[in-house]
Chains A and B, each alone.
Chain A
Amino acid sequence: MAQQLKWQLGTVVEIREETPKAKSLILDLPEWTTHLAGQHVDVRLTAEDGYQAQRSYSIASPPEDKYLMLTVDRIEDGEVSPYLTDGLRAGDQLELRGPIGGYFVWDARNKQYDGSPLFLAAGGSGIAPLMAMLRHRANSGATVPTRLLYSSRSYEEIIYREELDRLSANDSSLRVIHTLTRRRPADWTGYGRRIDMAMLADTAWSPAEKPLAFTCGPTALVEAVADNLLELGYEPGRIRTERFGPTGG
């Protein structure tokens, strides 16, 4: 039986600026049990007059970490994200429930996917659950061949950029490929457009290798990736999607 989740309070330990628009909240949750990489939490905010707003955020931290990390993209006229990125202070409390979702998960210990190369495709803050997977993968010493295709608006907006560089530099079985859709540095030699069929044909594992794909980010990007991977011959059951909605990325 799955546990019925209760709303629990966590304390903000640190607020970390990842990019000009994205911040990570590091939370201490005394009642937290454990989670799998890829799962999310529901965050609930309550105003003094009782009004409540609820949003889901992917857990960016791996199960091995002591604290929980959520990475929030600030949406300009959003109701919740500006509060999380600009209203919260270290020491504040945040109400959430989780972990939620057994569908969009990757567990290094799960024999079911032994040997299946991983193809991860992210847009903007959609990197969060995939980062949990990559961090967990590194912690487990897993060497399953993995490629991350990551779409960001500009170099400055690549979330976890330095950590991704470090992870791939130290691990020959991990390759990170960036594409920058709006602005590129003068010396940029990488991709400079939205993820499309040609890019996926070049970067994704061939279906013959029985890969497992996870894609997360703005809904339009996720649907484009999923549709194209299907056309490339990926099995529907081996493409996992997490749509974030129309904004973000």
Chain B
Amino acid sequence: MKKINTITFLIAIGAVMAYLSSASCGNGNGGNKTLGSTDTGKVTTKLSPILPFDVTLPPPPQRVLETTVRRGFDLFSWDSFIALSWPTDTTQVIGQHGDNATVWETWKKNYQVFLDSGQAPGSWDLTTQSKEVNLSQTGKTPPNMTAIFQPFLTGPLIDQNGQYNRFEIAMNQEMFEYIDQHKLYNIQGQQGFTDTVKFPEGDNTKKVWGAIMVKASWKILGKGDDTSRFHKIRATIHVPALPSRGIKDSTYEAWVGLVGFHIGTKTVTSPQWIWSTFEQVDNVPVFGKLEKGKHYNYYNGAAGDKALNKAPAQPWNPAIPNQIPSQVMRLTPIDTGTQALNDSIHKMLVMINPHNVWQYYELVGTQWPVNPTQSNTGNPFPVYMANATLETYDQGFIHAGKIVYSPGVTSSCIGCHNASVTWGGRPSDFTYLLKTAKPIKK
């Protein structure tokens, strides 16, 4: 059997699916597993808990950008999503009991790395770092960066119950250790760093994982939500103070459901990173393809489209009463090949358990650098890509009934992250995380 570290689907006529697996190695998360079909007791699946090192593509003669190459990257995305969403209880397979605590939720959160005190973060410890789930962000970027990004129309996403979405960011051990070893966890450390920031790269040849960062978008579960269709966690919800409205800083606990998920993976073949984005399937309708009667998380068929994909009026604070829900549509439909792959993976998840919660997540797309050495951005493809819960207001705009995209304005993972910098004024290797560092408190 051919040895590759991924689920591989062969695109032949009609997109025939096959699964290939390979040898034993770690999964990048501290445990050791054997690649290939997973068999835990009575449950067998071809899905794998092993994170891919890098993308695996067909031989050059068979590479066609929009079909076979896209499929290779989409497979990489799904492999990553499955492995990251795998149960922390390694005796289980994904969704065996419907929902499960996931591997990525044991990773370091951004607030556990970039401490308010500016001090060195604690060492990598899967047990302790997974116990804290504070959802304080109400925009795509952390509160202390919001002002910087207002020109990009970043704003809160409000669900049908008037609740703000919450967001969190986590990173894998390889990324954390690079930050830790180079003392990039505070402003002074970054200002003193005179080298080029270059996170580790995943490599199929060396069988090593590179830096991986994930960004999750959560909705507070409530009226109208079918909770069996969400990956759920109990989280501490933070409400920031807004003195002008008499709102005090507070926290409360609530069940939240995963609605959006970004995965950024640095690899040797994609030094501009591979950007994968997933959504919960009930989020939004596709522009021009409204399913009447369907409950959407962020669209109300009776509300009209005057405010379609527009950020709510300021001030932004989740405790302001009677907030108008966001009215959101997906402007760019999911590619048909990507959707076919989604359908195939969903069938595999249902085979594990008909109530498998992960069947309700779909790959929206994968963006990668087509010519990594051509320019700093490496000619990204697709040119634009947006997650309706994370780049809600940057999907493009509608003019005279047509969708208009604008380079430098419409969401492009690589295009936007290319502008990221450290506190030392140097490119930060496609992550804005370093800019969330604080100064050392003396």
Say whether A associates with B.
no
